[in-house]
Structures are given as structure tokens and as C-alpha cells.
Chains A and B, each alone.
Chain A
């Protein structure tokens, strides 16, 4: 229903006065030229960072460089990044309860059959992508995305959140990713190394554990974002 309302008024809402469009276009072009000139004048050779990275790959516990950077070298970034996701959910929940569900028609036969086939396949692929992250492009975020796709498919086919999933439990699920990450970081701290510094021998398994929880919580977060609102708790006085 919202989409219908939105689409009606999209056409004529530009700030039509052409002089403004012209000037903005002109300035934007100048900026583009400037940036291009800057990039063009960029000196081609650099990349000694690549070698330092290769030098310390062995201690990172994973062989694929991107995952190593993501999970170990710049693990702090990933922690904050997951924080951002969680924050997005909190933001959406604080704004509005879930809107009245659109008129849901029971899934057609084809959709139902396809669904029964696809869901297990997607989870399997997600598991593989998660595992492959160690030595090939993949990891928590990609696997999470896949799981989210499965979730959205379920939602579209009129699947309701199981009432048994206590609101508290849902929230735990959302929070689990970041919580596990912090837990791992703190535990390492207990071994009086730096925060987020995993000893080389255990680094691989710790990263895997973190990535596992991250995948689940990321997919839960993304599904919650798709719902676009907070599930109305029965008891809460919202």
C-alpha cells in the first residue's frame, strides 16, 4: 500500500526550475573533473602494504587475506560495523511498530514447492560460504546475506514469526553477534594481550566461532530491518 502511494508522486517532484539544475550540474561536473584529474595524477606504484600484510598472514589464523584483514587485523572495524547494524535495528524499532501486514494471500503451489526446495539449499550454501571464508572470498557477512534471503522468502510466503520466540529471545539473537565478538575480545584480554589480539594458534577457531554467531545475528538483524518495525510485544506498554 505504501509503495503505491509513493510511486504516484515520484514523477513531478523534482525541483524543476532549470537554472538551479543547470548550475548544480555545472558545479558537479567541475567536481568530477577535479577528482578525475586527481586520480589520473595518482602515482601508479605503491603497495608495500601488500607485502607487510603477506608477512604477517601466517599469524592471522586464516589464509584468505580479506578475511584476515576483516576479522583479525582490522577486527575492531568489524566489531563497530556490526554495532552499526544492531544500531539500525534499534533505530527502526524505536521509530515504529510493524505496520499492518499487507493483505497476505496463501502461497501458490509453485511458490510453496520452490520454497521447500530452496530453503535447505540456501542454508547449505550459506554454511559453505561461511566455511570457505577462511581460504577463499566468503565469511560472515556473505553467509548472513544468504540466510537473510531465505528468511525473506519465508516471510513473503506468509510465514509468521513463531509466537513461542519470546521477544527477549529475539533480542538476544539480534545482540548475539556483537556480544560474542566482545566476549572473544575480552577473553583474549584476560590472557593479557591487546584487545582483539588472538594468539596465532587459536586465531583460526576463534574467528570461525565469531563468524558463526555473526552470520546468525546478521541475518536476524537484516530480516528485522526488512520487517521495518518492532514486533509489538503483548505485555509491553508501547
Chain B
């Protein structure tokens, strides 16, 4: 019980850290990094909890989910980076504009 708890703890920690970073930092790259950290946090939680079987083997479905999650995270991050570059290219700075022009 204790080992899975530590992994889950680490996962939640990462998730929460990513969340904090996402909110606090203004620069888009930092936000994308934060999202990746949150993603890996979630996968860590999944992996950690997968090992609670009595016979020590891991639960394959969790692993499959992790793989799918990772692939999706990659795709999302790639798109985010390209979008960030495009934003930086058009607006000159890679930050979400604060002054809403309503």
C-alpha cells in the first residue's frame, strides 16, 4: 500500500505544481511546460495506482491509458508550440494579451 501511495503522492504533486505554474506564469512557453508537467503528473498517478494488485503485476489497462494519454499530450503540445510561435510571430510577444479590447 505504501509504495503506490508514494507514487500517487508524487503524481498529485506534479499535477498541482503544473496547475500552479499554469496560473502564475504569463509566458506561453511556461504555460505549455506547466501543462506537460500536469500531464505527466496524471500519468504517474495512473501508473502508481496500477500497481496495487496483490500479485505485484501492473494493470495493463492503466498502461494502455497512459500510452494513449502520452500520445495525445504530444500532439497537443506540438500544436500548442506551433500556435505559440505563430502568436509570437504576429503579435511580437509570446504572452496572452491582458488588455481585453471589449
Contacts and interface: CB of A to CB of B under 8 A. Distances in A.
A68 B9 CA distance: 29
Contacts of B52: 44-47
A231 interface: no
A46 B54 CA distance: 9
Q: How big is the B interface, by class?
A: 35 or more
Given A39-B12, A65-B60, A85-B71, A50 B76 contact: no
Contacts of B72: 81, 84
Contact of A9 (B23, B27, B71, B83): B27
A70 B83 CA distance: 30
A85 B85 CA distance: 19
B64 A69 contact: yes
Contacts of A42: 49
Interface in A202-238: 222, 225, 228-229
A53 B25 contact: no
A85 B81 CA distance: 14
Interface of A: 2, 5-6, 9-10, 13-15, 20-21, 24-25, 28-29, 31-32, 35-36, 39-40, 42, 44-47, 49-50, 53, 65-66, 68-70, 74, 77-78, 81-82, 84-85, 87-88, 91-92, 95-96, 99, 141, 222, 225, 228-229
Interface of B: 1, 5, 8-9, 12-13, 15-16, 19-20, 23-27, 29-30, 45, 49, 52-54, 57, 59-61, 63-64, 67-68, 70-72, 74-76, 78-79, 81-83, 85-86, 88-89, 93-95
